[in-house]
Amino acid sequence: MLFFTQCFGAVLDLIHLRFQHYKAKRVFSAAGQLVCVVNPTHSLKYAPTRCAAAQASTEQGILPPCHHHEVVHDPQLVPCTCPLFSCPWEGHLEVVVPHLRQTHRINILQGAEIVFLATDMHLPAPTDWIIMHSCLGHQFLLVLRKQEKYEGHPQFFATMMLIGTPTQADNFTYRLELNRNQRRLKWEATPRSILECVDSVISDGDCLVLNTSLAQLFSDNGSLAIGIAITTSKVHSSEAEM
């Protein structure tokens, strides 16, 4: 009975996932866009990453303690860029993608224009929806986060990070677009480098920001579809229009 129950639950989850994917394909197939259904990752222990902790200490005027026997890390090593948990992994920039795929099981989708379909938007904060996007010979990390910037008022933050250096990031422009019920909301900006930390980008508000009512306006049965397009550009612009 236990085996049957577990198998039956897995089948129901698969049917639900296929149904969500079918709905998304039906809506966006006319535009010829690839659709990726992204399930949320919810953590009750949302530990801040090391870069966020360091930033908070600096803002409060608290410097990290200095120890004579402190281990000096290689400046070329990059800490784990996954914003879900405080991961102790460090490695060179070229092995960040294998780490995210193998350790954190983050999917990767290829194509110049894709649709990011985030499910279960009703889950309490903090919650993340994450995917990697391979385009124009580079890999990008799209992060959608539901977070309470002010107590009792959750907001949604969406940003695109290049898994590369800030100089490389300046060569691209990304666009996030929501389109539903004869309404359209678009955010266009230069991606930030993954070296700059996702938490700081969200704290600065340099991303697409939606309050709960606005997110519900563009959602469909608890799912939010975000169109993503990446182009090569030297123009630095950032705008939100509706």
pTM exceeds 0.85, yes or no: no
Q: Which CATH architecture has domain 31-40+77-232?
A: Sandwich (2.60)
Compute the average pLDDT of residues 46-73: 42
174-212, pLDDT tens digit by residue?
Answer: 999 999 988 999 999 999 998 888 888 988 899 999 999
More confident site: 58 or 51: 51
Tokens 């060179």 found at: 92
- In this structure, which amino acid lies at residue 53? A
DSSP states of 37-83 as a string? EE--EE-SS-PPPHHHHHHHHHHTT-PPP--TTPPPPPTT-EE---S
- In this structure, which amino acid lies at residue 5? T
Compute the average pLDDT of residues 140-164: 92
Domain definitions of the chain by residue range: 31-40+77-232
Distance between CA atoms of 184 and 70, rounded to whole angstroms?
A: 52
Residue 34: is its pLDDT beyond 90? no
pLDDT band for 1, please (50, 70, 90 cuts): low
Q: Which residues have C-beta within 8 Å of that of residue 148, sequence separation ≥ 6?
A: 125, 126, 154, 155
